[in-house]
Chain A
Amino acid sequence: MAAADKFRPFIGRASTPVKNEVEKGAIRKFAEAIGDPNPLYRDEQYAAGTRYGHIVAPPTFSRTFDYGVIPDFELPVAGLIHGSQEFNYKKPICAGDVVYCANKLLDVFEKSGSLGTMVFLVFEQTVADEAGEPFLVQKSTVIYRPQA
């Protein structure tokens, strides 16, 4: 059996969207961790004077949200590598926003190379408002090496 086969039945399946509250303290801690001094991420008074009106989340902050679990889908614990990450931004995420986050398995494919068999799992993650209008859509490719 090909290593990718056990993942293929889950293509197209998604988690139930999870409600996440965007907290200004979480944004500030994230900005501190990445060493980004931008006042938009920490200074409420400054941010209020901009077109955003509120503290804004940095471009990759959305990765910190809870996206729920795809029913019955189990990701291996070991042998995983983050291969690539894409963001498609629709509207800014600000402190105080309530967002609904879901994860879907978009595609599975297999490649053989010098490192042995590699299974590529492509996930599409959506961050939307209560009406279902997206803030952003992100795509993550996770590489699984069964022999690792």
Chain B
Amino acid sequence: MERMERYQPGQALGPLVKPPVTKTQLVMYSGASGDFNPIHTVDEFAEQAGLGGVIAHGMLTMAFVGQMLSEIVGVEGDLLTFGIRFTGMVRPGDVVTCEGTVKEVEDVEGRQVVRADVWGMTQKQERVVAGHAEFAVPLG
């Protein structure tokens, strides 16, 4: 998990390809997060709300990008900031791929601070979450 190379502007982060989202996963996330909005778990409700069926919690998709970032920073690094805009809907069966691009790097007190754009995209090439992250990793 520890990565001691130096990051460079323009460098790609990820990809982390998640398994297809399942309805069971949406029920699990509802329970784990306490967000029981039925648009995520009850098809009839979601259809009446005009969504054409249940959609994933935005925070679930953000957590996928968070997993990618945690794997990048490893045990010795720190995630400093992480922000996302929710730009599309994820449905059961969708495969979310998380990626990023390094924008800026800076050496700070023996660590490299990296600022990056990050996003999650479905198999239809739709960006469903997009934002930024800043993390610090030890210098090799």
A interface with B by C-beta (< 8 Å): 26, 29-30, 32-36, 38, 40, 50-52, 58-60, 63-64, 81-89, 92, 139
Contact status of A32 and B28, CB under 8 A, knowing A60-B62, A85-B58, A89-B79: yes
Cross-chain pairs A/B with CB under 8 angstroms, 14 sampled: A29-B31, A32-B32, A33-B29, A33-B31, A34-B64, A35-B18, A51-B75, A51-B76, A60-B59, A60-B62, A83-B86, A84-B83, A84-B86, A89-B80
Pairwise interchain contact A58-B76, C-beta atoms closer than 8 A: no
> Which residue of B18, B25, B32, B62 has the most chain A CB atoms within 10 A of its CB atom?
B32
Pairwise interchain contact A87-B82, C-beta atoms closer than 8 A: yes
B interface with A by C-beta (< 8 Å): 18-19, 25, 28-29, 31-34, 58-60, 62-64, 66-67, 69-71, 75-76, 78-86, 131
Closest Cβ of chain A to B28, distance in Å, is: 4
Closest Cβ of chain A to B55, distance in Å, is: 11
Contact status of A34 and B29, CB under 8 A, knowing A58-B66, A85-B58: yes
Q: Which residues of B contact A63 (CB under 8 A)?
A: 33, 59
Pairwise interchain contact A34-B67, C-beta atoms closer than 8 A: yes
Total A-B pairs in contact (CB under 8 Å)?
A: 94
Pairwise interchain contact A36-B70, C-beta atoms closer than 8 A: yes
The docked-state distance in angstroms from the alpha carbon of A74 to that of B10 is 45
Closest Cβ of chain B to A88, distance in Å, is: 5
18 additional A-B residue pairs with CB within 8 Å, beyond A34-B63, A92-B78: A32-B28, A34-B60, A35-B25, A36-B63, A38-B67, A38-B71, A40-B70, A51-B76, A58-B63, A59-B66, A59-B69, A63-B59, A81-B86, A84-B84, A84-B85, A84-B131, A85-B59, A86-B82
Q: Which residues of B contact A87 (CB under 8 A)?
A: 79, 81-83
